[in-house]
Amino acid sequence: MGNFADEINKRRTFAIISHPDAGKTTLTEKFLLYGGAINLAGSVKGKATARHAVSDWMQIEKERGISVTSSVLQFEYGGFCINILDTPGHQDFSEDTYRTLMAADSAVMVIDASKGVEAQTRKLFKVCVMRHIPIFTFINKMDRDANDTFTLLDEIEKELGIATCPINWPIGSGKSFKGVYERESKCVITYSDTEKGTKEGHATRIPVAEDALLTEQIGEAHKAQLFDEIELLDGASAEYDLELIQAGELTPVFFGSALTNFGVEIFLQHFLKMTTTPLPRKSDIGLIDPVEHDFSAFVFKIQANMNKAHRDRVAFMRICSGRFDAGVEVKHVQGGKVMRLSQPQQIMADERKILDEAYAGDIIGVFDPGIFSIGDTICMPKEQFEYEGIPTFAPEHFARVRQIDTMKRKQFVKGITQIAQEGAIQIFQEFNTGMEEIIVGVVGVLQFDVLKYRLENEYNVEIKLENLPYEHIRWIENKDIDLDKLTGTSDMKKIKDLKGNPLLLFVNQWSVGMTVERNEGLVLSEFGKN
């Protein structure tokens, strides 16, 4: 048991969340640099010839320079085994990020110092708060002109409703960025525009007591401002409290520049001291302890066609307890089947490594012959329990999908069904008809482009999308309701999902309430269950 408990206790599993362009992918790459996982960090945007970011592997991502799927990256650093779940920043892909957060034990929130808290950050943050996930804030791009530091902190506290505790403090920004003051050691760490693709350049540490040296390095004006701000900070900011951090009620704040690689390793070292080992997880038989319990996991993501050569589907699982051994028999609870997980692998963006073993906290990808769904539980054959399901987001945009070549019906149905199983889109049918009338619902309109692109490139099927005016969808909780007798509004449409569950679409918000009033006992819900 000892060795296996040690392995689990070394694990740290976190998700990186941010608004698009806050520098999340760059920060991820710099983490990997420290773990020796890559030797040269590639710039995400750059010219067509530049290396694409390690974590952006789908063709459409490379073309647009945005992350549209979450990738999983693992590296070792300082005696820890770290699993990073990189998430799409674009709000049209927030559902994927939401599911990824279900698989993480903590979250790193990247904020652009010149923009502060943006809309997307707010939405994702709410998910973290809902799950009481500890949140660590990295305020990035200090090498560019930034907003006032106190204003940035104030915004985090007001907008996100969480107290802040700066671990370090920036001195200037943009061209006059001099470095950071580390509060605990009372030292200034000076900034030099380090070589961008390598590990941290030469940083000098100066204790603030060494007045002359400090003045020489950062100048009299910066020094005077720093001393004023420290005094203000010590009086105004929340005290460092590890319990509150781990309860998700206080966020430690760090400043730096991922691009020039300043402050990244400092952040990583502090982060590892403050985060916890893999946490127990809720199931229908109570909390499952990572160390005390045998192997168990849940599926949080399904990705088809990661490898063009193999046309495969990979189910990503977060291991919640115990040790996984390749070749061992496990139970797929929802399918009621005992099976061996095929081709268990660790995936580093699009590179794969077949695994012999993995531990609680790790993320593994397994070949999915089309049997897994998001939220499924895997455990040992003699056990029977289910982890909490992952709710599905209500789509906000709908379109009717038509294939251009009716001879390719088979590929079309297969393609759209597989993409829907990944959870990026939701597909519905007209009530009382078969698959001939398909309606697609998405959280963000960019998903329509991805759907079109993927059906053409991966399944060789061209489609036409006809936008529908509906904006509100509700699941019907009552199983005994007779849909034919339901009295609705003129802007209501009856549809069903792939499992045959009835749903209602509405153009106007007020129609939802009116329909409930007109049908006694009708219960409508904004969330579907996986």
Stretch 145-174: mean pLDDT = 92
Domain C-terminal end among 353, 379, 405: 379
The three-class DSSP label of residue 268 is helix
Both 150 and 238 in a single domain? yes
Both 292 and 372 in a single domain? yes
Give the integer Cα–Cα distance in Å for 56 and 43: 11
340 vs 72, more confident: 340
Instruction: List the one residue out of 461, 449, 467 whose CA is nearest residue 505.
Output: 467
- Does residue 262 form part of some domain? yes
Domain that holds residue 240: 11-274
23 vs 456, more confident: 456
Look up the CATH number of the domain holding residue 306. 2.40.30.10
Give the pLDDT of residue 343: 81
- Does residue 386 form part of some domain? no
- Does residue 392 form part of some domain? no
> Per-residue confidence at 434, pLDDT binned at 50, 70, 90?
low
Give the integer Cα–Cα distance in Å for 173 and 258: 14
- Does residue 483 form part of some domain? yes
Domain C-terminal end among 350, 379, 408: 379
Both 443 and 413 in a single domain? yes
The three-class DSSP label of residue 157 is helix
40 vs 320, more confident: 320
- Does residue 169 form part of some domain? yes
Both 195 and 297 in a single domain? no
The neighbouring-strand residues paired with 473 are 505
Question: Residue 228 pLDDT > 50, yes or no?
Answer: yes
> Per-residue confidence at 42, pLDDT binned at 50, 70, 90?
very low
Both 365 and 431 in a single domain? no
Give the integer Cα–Cα distance in Å for 58 and 127: 26
Question: Residue 423 pLDDT > 80, yes or no?
Answer: no
Query: pTM (2 decimals)?
Result: 0.77
Stretch 411-430: mean pLDDT = 83
Instruction: List the one residue out of 425, 373, 423, 418 whose CA is nearest residue 396.
Output: 425
Mean pLDDT, the chain, rounded, equals 82
Both 195 and 269 in a single domain? yes
Stretch 51-80: mean pLDDT = 58
Stretch 204-229: mean pLDDT = 89
Give the pLDDT of residue 164: 94
Q: What is the pLDDT of residues 331-384, one digit of tens each?
A: 999 989 999 998 888 766 456 678 889 999 999 988 888 788 888 999 999 999
Give the pLDDT of residue 13: 93
8 A C-beta contact, residue 183 and residue 168: yes
Q: What is the pLDDT of residues 282-308, one digit of tens each?
A: 999 999 999 999 999 999 888 765 555
Question: Residue 65 pLDDT > 50, yes or no?
Answer: no
Question: Residue 49 pLDDT > 50, yes or no?
Answer: no
The neighbouring-strand residues paired with 70 are none
Between CA 452 and CA 391, with CA 412 as vertex, the angle to 5 degrees is 70
- Does residue 388 form part of some domain? no
* DSSP-derived pairing of the beta strands 168-171 and 179-182: antiparallel
Stretch 28-50: mean pLDDT = 54
Tokens of 223: 């020094």
Stretch 38-59: mean pLDDT = 42
Both 39 and 143 in a single domain? yes
Look up the CATH number of the domain holding residue 409. 3.30.70.3280
* Alpha helix positions (H), 388-445: 409-421
Give the pLDDT of residue 529: 57
High-pLDDT (> 70) share of the chain, %: 83
High-pLDDT (> 90) share of the chain, %: 37
Both 223 and 208 in a single domain? yes
Instruction: List the one residue out of 332, 335, 313 whose CA is nearest residue 419.
Output: 313
- Does residue 351 form part of some domain? yes
Structural domain total, the chain:
3
- Does residue 3 form part of some domain? no
Both 207 and 286 in a single domain? no
Look up the CATH number of the domain holding residue 209. 3.40.50.300
Both 134 and 192 in a single domain? yes
Both 35 and 91 in a single domain? yes
Give the pLDDT of residue 120: 65
Q: What DSSP state is assigned to residue 265?
A: H
Both 372 and 401 in a single domain? no
* DSSP-derived pairing of the beta strands 472-476 and 502-506: antiparallel
Q: Which residues are within 8 A (CB) of 442 and not within 5 positions of it... i.e. 6 or more apart?
A: 92, 395, 396, 397, 398, 424, 425, 426, 448, 451
Distances in whole angstroms, Cα of residue 455 to Cα of each of 296, 367, 445, 449: 34, 21, 16, 10
Q: What is the pLDDT of residues 322-341, one digit of tens each?
A: 999 998 999 999 989 999 99
120 vs 324, more confident: 324
Domain C-terminal end among 223, 240, 274: 274
8 A C-beta contact, residue 321 and residue 408: no
Instruction: List the one residue out of 95, 74, 26, 76 whose CA is nearest residue 349.
Output: 74
